[in-house]
Amino acid sequence: MKILFVNTNIGYGGASKMMVWVANILSEKGYDVSFLTYRDDEILQPVSRKVKHIHLPLEPVSGGRKGIMGTVKAIRGFIKKERFDLAIAFLIPSQLRLSLAAAGLPIKILYSQRGDPYSYSGGSRLMDYITRWSFRQADGYVFQTVGAKAYYSSEIQSISKVIPNPVVPLSRTSDREGAVEKRIVNIARLDVRQKRQDILIDAFKSVSSQFPDYILELYGDGPDKALLERMASDNSRIRFKGKTSDVVSAVQNATCTVLSSDSEGIPNALLESMSLGVPSVSTDCSPGGAAMLIDNYKNGIITPKGDVSALAEAVKFIIQNPEKAEDMGKNAMEINNIYSEERIAEQWIEYIEGMF
Protein backbone atom coordinates (compact mmCIF):
# COMPACT_ATOMS: atom_id res chain seq x y z
CA MET A 1 0.00 0.00 0.00
CA LYS A 2 1.26 3.48 -0.90
CA ILE A 3 0.48 6.07 1.76
CA LEU A 4 0.93 9.84 1.60
CA PHE A 5 1.09 12.16 4.62
CA VAL A 6 0.48 15.87 3.99
CA ASN A 7 1.44 18.67 6.39
CA THR A 8 2.72 22.24 6.29
CA ASN A 9 6.08 21.18 7.75
CA ILE A 10 7.67 18.79 10.22
CA GLY A 11 7.69 21.07 13.24
CA TYR A 12 8.01 20.46 16.97
CA GLY A 13 4.27 20.59 17.73
CA GLY A 14 2.23 17.65 18.94
CA ALA A 15 0.43 17.03 15.63
CA SER A 16 3.67 16.94 13.64
CA LYS A 17 5.22 14.67 16.24
CA MET A 18 2.33 12.22 16.02
CA MET A 19 2.17 12.31 12.22
CA VAL A 20 5.85 11.43 11.99
CA TRP A 21 5.39 8.66 14.55
CA VAL A 22 2.56 7.08 12.53
CA ALA A 23 4.51 7.50 9.27
CA ASN A 24 7.59 5.87 10.81
CA ILE A 25 5.58 2.96 12.21
CA LEU A 26 3.87 2.29 8.88
CA SER A 27 7.16 2.45 6.98
CA GLU A 28 8.78 0.01 9.40
CA LYS A 29 5.86 -2.39 8.85
CA GLY A 30 6.55 -2.44 5.12
CA TYR A 31 4.18 0.18 3.76
CA ASP A 32 5.45 2.56 1.05
CA VAL A 33 5.25 5.90 2.89
CA SER A 34 5.82 9.45 1.63
CA PHE A 35 5.60 12.66 3.68
CA LEU A 36 4.88 15.83 1.71
CA THR A 37 5.47 19.29 3.22
CA TYR A 38 4.54 22.48 1.41
CA ARG A 39 5.53 25.53 3.50
CA ASP A 40 8.99 25.10 4.99
CA ASP A 41 11.50 22.27 4.98
CA GLU A 42 12.30 22.38 8.69
CA ILE A 43 12.59 18.86 10.14
CA LEU A 44 12.27 18.88 13.94
CA GLN A 45 11.16 15.26 14.40
CA PRO A 46 13.13 12.03 13.81
CA VAL A 47 11.90 10.83 10.40
CA SER A 48 12.73 7.23 9.46
CA ARG A 49 15.02 6.75 6.48
CA LYS A 50 12.31 4.53 5.03
CA VAL A 51 9.94 7.51 4.81
CA LYS A 52 10.36 9.56 1.64
CA HIS A 53 10.24 13.25 2.55
CA ILE A 54 9.16 15.44 -0.36
CA HIS A 55 9.27 19.20 0.17
CA LEU A 56 7.52 21.52 -2.25
CA PRO A 57 8.01 25.20 -1.25
CA LEU A 58 4.58 26.14 -2.54
CA GLU A 59 3.27 28.86 -0.28
CA PRO A 60 4.35 31.26 2.46
CA VAL A 61 3.37 30.76 6.06
CA SER A 62 0.57 33.33 5.61
CA GLY A 63 -1.07 31.19 2.92
CA GLY A 64 -3.33 33.27 0.69
CA ARG A 65 -5.78 32.14 -1.99
CA LYS A 66 -3.19 32.06 -4.78
CA GLY A 67 -0.76 30.06 -2.66
CA ILE A 68 -3.47 27.63 -1.56
CA MET A 69 -4.68 26.87 -5.08
CA GLY A 70 -1.10 26.36 -6.26
CA THR A 71 -0.60 23.89 -3.44
CA VAL A 72 -3.83 22.07 -4.31
CA LYS A 73 -2.76 21.74 -7.95
CA ALA A 74 0.71 20.46 -7.01
CA ILE A 75 -0.62 17.91 -4.49
CA ARG A 76 -3.19 16.69 -7.01
CA GLY A 77 -0.51 16.22 -9.65
CA PHE A 78 1.72 14.38 -7.16
CA ILE A 79 -1.11 12.03 -6.14
CA LYS A 80 -1.93 11.26 -9.79
CA LYS A 81 1.72 10.66 -10.64
CA GLU A 82 2.51 8.40 -7.68
CA ARG A 83 -0.89 6.65 -7.53
CA PHE A 84 -1.21 6.62 -3.75
CA ASP A 85 -3.81 4.37 -2.15
CA LEU A 86 -4.29 6.50 0.95
CA ALA A 87 -3.60 10.09 1.99
CA ILE A 88 -3.53 11.23 5.64
CA ALA A 89 -3.71 14.72 7.16
CA PHE A 90 -3.94 15.75 10.81
CA LEU A 91 -4.42 19.53 10.69
CA ILE A 92 -7.10 21.77 9.19
CA PRO A 93 -4.93 23.63 6.62
CA SER A 94 -3.68 20.39 5.10
CA GLN A 95 -7.10 18.73 5.29
CA LEU A 96 -8.58 21.61 3.26
CA ARG A 97 -5.89 21.36 0.59
CA LEU A 98 -6.06 17.58 0.46
CA SER A 99 -9.86 17.49 0.10
CA LEU A 100 -9.64 19.80 -2.91
CA ALA A 101 -6.62 18.02 -4.40
CA ALA A 102 -8.10 14.53 -4.12
CA ALA A 103 -11.59 15.32 -5.42
CA GLY A 104 -12.60 12.69 -7.97
CA LEU A 105 -9.35 10.73 -7.70
CA PRO A 106 -9.21 7.00 -6.82
CA ILE A 107 -7.59 7.53 -3.42
CA LYS A 108 -8.94 7.09 0.11
CA ILE A 109 -8.59 9.93 2.62
CA LEU A 110 -8.05 9.61 6.37
CA TYR A 111 -8.30 12.63 8.65
CA SER A 112 -7.29 12.77 12.30
CA GLN A 113 -8.72 15.43 14.63
CA ARG A 114 -5.91 16.48 16.98
CA GLY A 115 -7.33 19.42 18.94
CA ASP A 116 -10.64 20.40 20.49
CA PRO A 117 -13.48 20.64 17.97
CA TYR A 118 -15.68 22.36 20.55
CA SER A 119 -13.42 25.41 20.69
CA TYR A 120 -12.52 25.71 17.00
CA SER A 121 -13.53 28.80 15.05
CA GLY A 122 -12.50 29.48 11.47
CA GLY A 123 -12.85 33.23 12.03
CA SER A 124 -15.82 33.66 9.68
CA ARG A 125 -18.95 31.79 8.61
CA LEU A 126 -17.44 31.14 5.19
CA MET A 127 -14.23 29.71 6.63
CA ASP A 128 -16.19 27.57 9.09
CA TYR A 129 -18.30 26.20 6.22
CA ILE A 130 -15.24 25.45 4.07
CA THR A 131 -13.44 23.77 6.97
CA ARG A 132 -16.42 21.58 7.84
CA TRP A 133 -16.95 20.69 4.17
CA SER A 134 -13.32 19.65 3.74
CA PHE A 135 -13.39 17.49 6.88
CA ARG A 136 -16.49 15.63 5.64
CA GLN A 137 -14.69 14.50 2.47
CA ALA A 138 -12.67 11.79 4.23
CA ASP A 139 -13.28 8.05 4.07
CA GLY A 140 -12.17 7.50 7.65
CA TYR A 141 -11.38 9.38 10.84
CA VAL A 142 -9.17 8.92 13.89
CA PHE A 143 -9.94 10.82 17.09
CA GLN A 144 -7.85 10.99 20.23
CA THR A 145 -10.74 10.99 22.69
CA VAL A 146 -14.33 9.80 22.95
CA GLY A 147 -15.33 13.41 23.65
CA ALA A 148 -13.85 14.65 20.37
CA LYS A 149 -15.57 11.88 18.41
CA ALA A 150 -18.93 12.72 20.02
CA TYR A 151 -18.82 16.23 18.56
CA TYR A 152 -19.32 14.93 15.01
CA SER A 153 -22.30 13.54 13.10
CA SER A 154 -23.36 9.92 13.40
CA GLU A 155 -22.20 9.42 9.80
CA ILE A 156 -18.64 10.45 10.66
CA GLN A 157 -18.69 8.55 13.95
CA SER A 158 -19.72 5.36 12.15
CA ILE A 159 -16.49 5.31 10.10
CA SER A 160 -14.16 6.50 12.85
CA LYS A 161 -12.01 5.10 15.63
CA VAL A 162 -10.64 6.54 18.88
CA ILE A 163 -6.89 5.96 19.06
CA PRO A 164 -4.98 7.79 21.81
CA ASN A 165 -1.39 8.90 21.47
CA PRO A 166 1.25 6.35 22.43
CA VAL A 167 3.78 6.81 25.18
CA VAL A 168 7.11 7.08 23.41
CA PRO A 169 9.59 5.53 25.87
CA LEU A 170 11.82 8.03 27.67
CA SER A 171 14.85 6.96 29.68
CA ARG A 172 15.86 8.65 32.89
CA THR A 173 19.39 9.97 33.17
CA SER A 174 19.27 10.16 36.98
CA ASP A 175 17.32 8.56 39.83
CA ARG A 176 14.48 10.55 41.33
CA GLU A 177 14.67 9.24 44.87
CA GLY A 178 16.46 11.77 47.06
CA ALA A 179 17.00 14.12 44.10
CA VAL A 180 13.65 15.92 43.76
CA GLU A 181 14.20 19.57 42.92
CA LYS A 182 12.03 22.51 43.97
CA ARG A 183 10.87 23.18 40.43
CA ILE A 184 7.38 23.30 38.95
CA VAL A 185 7.59 22.68 35.19
CA ASN A 186 5.34 23.51 32.28
CA ILE A 187 6.22 22.49 28.71
CA ALA A 188 3.94 23.98 26.06
CA ARG A 189 3.65 26.60 23.36
CA LEU A 190 3.37 30.02 24.99
CA ASP A 191 -0.22 30.65 24.00
CA VAL A 192 -2.67 32.23 26.41
CA ARG A 193 -5.73 31.37 24.31
CA GLN A 194 -5.20 27.61 24.51
CA LYS A 195 -2.33 26.70 26.83
CA ARG A 196 -3.34 29.24 29.52
CA GLN A 197 0.02 29.93 31.09
CA ASP A 198 -1.65 33.10 32.35
CA ILE A 199 -3.63 31.12 34.93
CA LEU A 200 -0.56 29.04 35.74
CA ILE A 201 1.44 32.18 36.49
CA ASP A 202 -1.36 33.50 38.72
CA ALA A 203 -1.61 30.13 40.47
CA PHE A 204 2.15 29.98 41.01
CA LYS A 205 2.15 33.43 42.60
CA SER A 206 -0.14 31.98 45.27
CA VAL A 207 2.16 28.96 45.63
CA SER A 208 5.24 31.18 45.77
CA SER A 209 3.84 33.34 48.55
CA GLN A 210 3.56 30.24 50.74
CA PHE A 211 6.60 28.36 49.42
CA PRO A 212 9.10 31.03 48.31
CA ASP A 213 11.94 28.58 47.63
CA TYR A 214 10.14 26.99 44.67
CA ILE A 215 10.49 28.15 41.08
CA LEU A 216 8.25 27.85 38.02
CA GLU A 217 9.97 26.94 34.75
CA LEU A 218 8.15 27.55 31.47
CA TYR A 219 9.63 25.66 28.52
CA GLY A 220 8.55 26.66 25.05
CA ASP A 221 8.08 29.61 22.74
CA GLY A 222 5.06 31.16 21.14
CA PRO A 223 3.01 34.24 20.29
CA ASP A 224 2.34 35.29 23.88
CA LYS A 225 5.86 35.15 25.28
CA ALA A 226 6.11 38.93 25.78
CA LEU A 227 2.68 39.09 27.43
CA LEU A 228 3.52 36.29 29.83
CA GLU A 229 6.90 37.80 30.67
CA ARG A 230 5.11 41.01 31.65
CA MET A 231 2.68 39.05 33.80
CA ALA A 232 5.61 37.34 35.55
CA SER A 233 7.79 40.45 35.89
CA ASP A 234 6.93 40.92 39.57
CA ASN A 235 8.05 37.40 40.54
CA SER A 236 11.71 36.49 40.13
CA ARG A 237 10.91 32.84 40.77
CA ILE A 238 9.28 32.44 37.35
CA ARG A 239 11.77 31.48 34.64
CA PHE A 240 11.29 31.33 30.86
CA LYS A 241 13.54 28.57 29.58
CA GLY A 242 12.81 28.63 25.83
CA LYS A 243 12.38 25.59 23.61
CA THR A 244 13.92 22.31 24.68
CA SER A 245 14.57 19.05 22.90
CA ASP A 246 15.70 17.44 26.17
CA VAL A 247 12.39 16.79 27.90
CA VAL A 248 13.91 14.23 30.26
CA SER A 249 16.38 16.67 31.84
CA ALA A 250 13.71 19.35 32.12
CA VAL A 251 11.14 17.11 33.79
CA GLN A 252 12.58 14.02 35.46
CA ASN A 253 13.38 15.46 38.91
CA ALA A 254 10.91 18.33 39.07
CA THR A 255 8.56 18.44 42.04
CA CYS A 256 5.72 18.24 39.55
CA THR A 257 4.65 19.22 36.07
CA VAL A 258 1.58 21.33 35.36
CA LEU A 259 -0.59 21.42 32.26
CA SER A 260 -2.89 24.46 32.38
CA SER A 261 -4.60 24.23 28.98
CA ASP A 262 -8.27 24.86 28.22
CA SER A 263 -8.15 22.44 25.30
CA GLU A 264 -5.88 19.59 24.20
CA GLY A 265 -6.11 16.27 22.44
CA ILE A 266 -4.10 13.67 24.33
CA PRO A 267 -1.46 15.97 25.83
CA ASN A 268 2.02 14.70 24.91
CA ALA A 269 3.64 16.73 27.70
CA LEU A 270 1.38 15.03 30.24
CA LEU A 271 2.10 11.58 28.80
CA GLU A 272 5.83 12.23 29.00
CA SER A 273 5.68 13.45 32.58
CA MET A 274 3.58 10.51 33.75
CA SER A 275 5.76 8.01 31.89
CA LEU A 276 8.80 9.28 33.80
CA GLY A 277 7.03 8.89 37.16
CA VAL A 278 6.79 12.63 37.82
CA PRO A 279 3.75 13.84 39.81
CA SER A 280 1.48 15.60 37.33
CA VAL A 281 -1.22 18.25 37.66
CA SER A 282 -3.54 19.03 34.76
CA THR A 283 -6.66 21.01 34.05
CA ASP A 284 -9.65 19.04 32.81
CA CYS A 285 -9.06 20.32 29.30
CA SER A 286 -11.64 19.78 26.58
CA PRO A 287 -12.44 17.32 25.01
CA GLY A 288 -11.29 15.01 27.81
CA GLY A 289 -7.75 13.88 26.99
CA ALA A 290 -6.29 14.59 30.42
CA ALA A 291 -9.28 12.97 32.11
CA MET A 292 -8.54 9.78 30.12
CA LEU A 293 -5.08 9.66 31.65
CA ILE A 294 -5.56 10.86 35.23
CA ASP A 295 -7.40 9.02 37.99
CA ASN A 296 -7.67 11.92 40.41
CA TYR A 297 -5.27 11.73 43.37
CA LYS A 298 -4.33 8.18 42.33
CA ASN A 299 -1.87 8.85 39.48
CA GLY A 300 -2.07 12.64 39.28
CA ILE A 301 -4.35 15.57 40.04
CA ILE A 302 -6.94 17.06 37.70
CA THR A 303 -8.54 20.46 38.27
CA PRO A 304 -11.33 22.42 36.55
CA LYS A 305 -10.03 24.39 33.56
CA GLY A 306 -9.57 28.09 34.14
CA ASP A 307 -9.67 27.72 37.94
CA VAL A 308 -6.60 29.53 39.32
CA SER A 309 -7.34 28.66 42.94
CA ALA A 310 -7.83 24.93 42.26
CA LEU A 311 -4.61 24.80 40.24
CA ALA A 312 -2.68 26.52 43.04
CA GLU A 313 -4.13 24.18 45.68
CA ALA A 314 -3.20 21.12 43.62
CA VAL A 315 0.43 22.24 43.39
CA LYS A 316 0.46 23.02 47.10
CA PHE A 317 -0.87 19.53 47.82
CA ILE A 318 2.04 18.03 45.87
CA ILE A 319 4.54 20.14 47.82
CA GLN A 320 2.96 19.46 51.21
CA ASN A 321 2.48 15.72 50.68
CA PRO A 322 5.72 14.47 49.10
CA GLU A 323 5.16 10.78 49.86
CA LYS A 324 1.65 10.81 48.41
CA ALA A 325 2.95 12.77 45.42
CA GLU A 326 5.67 10.24 44.73
CA ASP A 327 3.14 7.41 44.98
CA MET A 328 1.01 9.18 42.37
CA GLY A 329 4.07 9.50 40.14
CA LYS A 330 4.86 5.80 40.45
CA ASN A 331 1.25 4.85 39.71
CA ALA A 332 1.31 7.10 36.64
CA MET A 333 4.02 4.97 35.06
CA GLU A 334 1.41 2.29 34.33
CA ILE A 335 0.50 4.32 31.23
CA ASN A 336 3.75 2.98 29.71
CA ASN A 337 1.87 -0.32 29.36
CA ILE A 338 -1.64 0.95 28.67
CA TYR A 339 -0.51 3.34 25.93
CA SER A 340 2.52 1.46 24.67
CA GLU A 341 3.75 2.10 21.14
CA GLU A 342 3.06 -1.51 20.22
CA ARG A 343 -0.59 -1.35 21.26
CA ILE A 344 -1.26 1.99 19.59
CA ALA A 345 0.56 0.96 16.41
CA GLU A 346 -1.61 -2.16 16.16
CA GLN A 347 -4.74 0.01 16.39
CA TRP A 348 -3.59 2.33 13.60
CA ILE A 349 -2.66 -0.54 11.28
CA GLU A 350 -5.89 -2.44 11.99
CA TYR A 351 -7.97 0.65 11.25
CA ILE A 352 -6.10 1.57 8.05
CA GLU A 353 -6.32 -1.99 6.73
CA GLY A 354 -10.04 -1.98 7.50
CA MET A 355 -10.57 0.99 5.22
CA PHE A 356 -9.82 -1.19 2.16
pLDDT computed for residue 53 by the predictor:
97
What distance lies between CA 114 and its chain's CA centroid? 7
Please, which pLDDT band fits residue 67 given cuts at 50, 70 and 90? confident
Instruction: Please compute the mean of the pLDDT values over residues 216-237 and round it to a whole number.
Output: 97
Task: Report how many helices (DSSP H) and strands (DSSP E) the chain contains, helices first.
Answer: 15, 13
pLDDT computed for residue 79 by the predictor:
98
Q: Which fold has domain 181-338?
A: Rossmann fold (3.40.50)
pLDDT computed for residue 20 by the predictor:
97
Q: How far is CA 320 from CA 255, 308, 316, 324, 326, in A?
A: 11, 18, 6, 9, 12
Q: What is the pLDDT of residues 255-308, one digit of tens each?
A: 999 999 999 988 989 999 999 999 999 999 999 999 999 999 999 999 999 999
Query: In CATH terms, is domain 2-165+340-354 a member of 3.40.50.2000?
Result: yes
Dihedral angle over CA of 69, 74, 77, 78, nearest 10: -140
The domains spanning 2-165+340-354 and 181-338 adopt the same CATH topology: yes
Instruction: Please compute the mean of the pLDDT values over residues 198-217 and round it to a whole number.
Output: 98
Rounded to whole angstroms, the Cα distance separating 241 from 236 reads 13
pLDDT computed for residue 101 by the predictor:
98
| pTM for the full predicted model | 0.83
What are the domain boundaries of the chain?
2-165+340-354, 181-338
pLDDT computed for residue 340 by the predictor:
95
Cβ-count burial of 165 within 10 angstroms (0-12 exposed, 13-18 middle, 19+ buried)?
buried
Q: What is the pLDDT of residues 125-179, one digit of tens each?
A: 888 999 999 999 999 999 999 999 999 999 999 999 999 999 988 899 999 999 9
Residue 64 has pLDDT above 70, yes or no: no
Please, which pLDDT band fits residue 42 given cuts at 50, 70 and 90? confident
pLDDT computed for residue 57 by the predictor:
87
Please, which pLDDT band fits residue 215 given cuts at 50, 70 and 90? very high
- Which residues share a beta bridge with 141? 111, 160
pLDDT computed for residue 41 by the predictor:
86
Identify which of 289, 285, 271, 257 has the alpha carbon closest to the alpha carbon of residue 332. 271
Residue 332 has pLDDT above 60, yes or no: yes
Residue 65 has pLDDT above 80, yes or no: no
Lowest mean pLDDT among 62-76, 163-177, 309-323: 62-76
Q: What is the mean pLDDT of the chain?
A: 94
pLDDT computed for residue 63 by the predictor:
53
pLDDT computed for residue 30 by the predictor:
97
φ, ψ of residue 313 to 5 degrees: the values are -65, -35
Instruction: Please compute the mean of the pLDDT values over residues 62-66 and round it to a whole number.
Output: 54
Please, which pLDDT band fits residue 12 given cuts at 50, 70 and 90? confident
